[in-house]
Amino acid sequence: MTLEFMDKLEATVDALAIDDTVRAVVFTSEGDGNFSVGMNLKQMRDGIAAKGSIDGVFDQRWRVLEKIERMGKPSVVTLFGYCLGGGLELPLACHFRLAAEEGAQIGLPEMDLGTVPAWGGLARLPRCVGRDHALDMILRGKKVSGPEALRIGLVNEVWPKSELKHRAISLAEELASMPRLAVKSVLDAVIGYEAKSLQESLSDERSAVHANARTADAKEGMMAFIEKRKPVFNQAGTD
């Protein structure tokens, strides 16, 4: 993930966030070799010069991942081959993670370089898999397979590598068919719940209920239930 790539990724995420025709996003990589080995460390000196400081380099990466996490649209990511460092930290900011059944090596190996994860891995991985699994992976530089990632709760599903991208698109299409405002309301309420009290989360839920109570999609869902048919959400002119 070069400096140029991160600039393009941030611009793309910004555009996706405001594009009402986009209701779900898939993150994958070209080909079938690896998802990503993270940052191009050879560019660190150039990055510091371009961004003004090492904090400037990492600030952008934190900012982009938070934008993905909070853009109000569900994101699906594929993990196959090497998914290391930033190649895991980006997926940790996504809402659905799918891994290859074979060949995946998923981890945060920064300890092997004498340093620590720097793109939110220390914060997000424990929230995803729990403290014990996170410490096991980070302190030992441990790489886990797709099936192991599923066992510890790091990914939602495991698929044969040949089917992985197709499944990611299929899942994104399913999510995109859900009522847009309701999906955004759920994401806004659930993302970051760890930092909220129960009462704050319940208040967020009540706000979501009120925001969705009288929408066209809510009416469509109720009518479809009464008429015993599948609802058709996000119809043109019904928002």
Gap between the Cα atoms of 110 and 84, Å rounded:
9
Active site residue 110: yes
Give me the catalytic one of 4, 30, 66, 89: 89
Q: In this structure, what DSSP letter does residue 85 have?
A: T
Active site residue 148: no
Give me the catalytic one of 69, 101, 102, 110: 110
> Does residue 155 contact residue 99 with C-beta atoms inside 8 Å?
yes
Gap between the Cα atoms of 127 and 121, Å rounded:
10
Handedness of CA 50, 52, 58, 60 (dihedral sign): negative
**216-to-44, 173, 210, 228, 233 alpha-carbon distances in Å:** 50, 20, 13, 18, 8
Q: What percent of the chain is helix, strand and coil (3-state, nearest 5)? A: 55, 10, 35
> Does residue 100 contact residue 160 with C-beta atoms inside 8 Å?
yes
Gap between the Cα atoms of 159 and 12, Å rounded:
27
* The amino acid at 19: D
Q: How far is CA 194 from the centre of its chain?
A: 16
Which residues participate in catalysis according to the annotation? 89, 110
